[in-house]
Amino acid sequence: MNISTRISHRGLRRLLVVALTVLAVSLPTFMAPVSADAATKATSRITGFSGPASVTKGKAITLAGQVQRASGKSWIKTGTATVTVYFDADGSAPNKAVRTLKTNASGYFKTTFTASATGKWSVRLPAQGILKGSATGQKYIPVTAPPKPKPVVHPSVTGPISKWNCPAWAPIKGNAPSHIYHMPGQQFYTRTTPEACFSTEAAARNAGYRKSLR
């Protein structure tokens, strides 16, 4: 091997050493942002998730809870975060996103829906900022039909609603001085000022009245 060849080999070795040294110094710098970002991701949870045990259709369903993050062995406030509410109606596609909202500075959220169908509600926190994603369990809330209105039960005898008129549900006019009752359509019905009004003829007769002949 001649002198020029040995010099060339020495040059290559020096160049390789320099390249390896630069790579060793630069590699931590390239890796640092990834490691730092991974280190800042905090475990999160949604705690205190609540809603009604059941609700009448058309009434309000209020959901509430708080987002927290782990700090050592403790759970602390997260500050403002974004959460999404999901609803799985009975017989429908599961986990449909129905609303996105922001928590307050302490991580609390509260939102209200009009009850329309029975199903499972849940809330998810997507990964954001320094927080890892988390979700609540599903809360099953039955929605019941509103109660049927009770029928109005009127008494069989009542007083007039004005000088000349009885209520529609008790249209028979009773004249107290004569103890005669007048049916709608009879001759003296419109000219009678009632002291008593009856819902049926039987009620009038039971009160001691007799039917007008005209």
* pTM beyond 0.85: no
CA distance 189 to 202: 18
pLDDT at residue 91 in the model: 73
Fold of 44-144: Immunoglobulin-like (2.60.40)
- Residue-level pLDDT, tens digit, the chain, 214 residues: 444 444 455 666 665 555 555 555 554 444 444 444 445 689 999 999 999 999 999 999 999 999 999 999 999 999 999 999 999 998 766 789 999 999 999 999 999 999 999 999 999 999 999 999 999 999 999 999 998 888 878 889 999 999 999 999 999 999 999 999 999 999 999 999 999 999 999 999 999 999 999 8
Domain boundaries, the chain: 1-40, 44-144, 157-211
Q: Which residues contact 173 (CB under 8 A, 6 or more apart)?
A: 160, 166, 181, 182, 189, 192, 194, 196, 197
| CA dist., res. 117 & res. 55, Å (int) | 10
Cα 63 to the center of its chain, rounded Å:
6
pLDDT at 26: 52
pLDDT at 106: 96
In the numeric block, the tokens 């040294």 are attached to 21
What is the reported pLDDT for 155? 87
pLDDT at 39: 53
pLDDT computed for residue 7 by the predictor: 44
CB 113 within 8 A of CB 123: no
> Going along the chain, which residue ranges are E strands?
44-50, 55-56, 60-71, 74-77, 82-89, 96-102, 108-114, 119-125, 134-135, 139-141, 143-144, 157-158, 172-175, 180-182, 196-198, 210-211
Residue 38 is predicted with a pLDDT of 46
Task: Please give the Cα distance from 14 to 150 (Å, whole number).
Answer: 100
The dihedral sign for the CA sequence 115, 119, 120, 122: negative
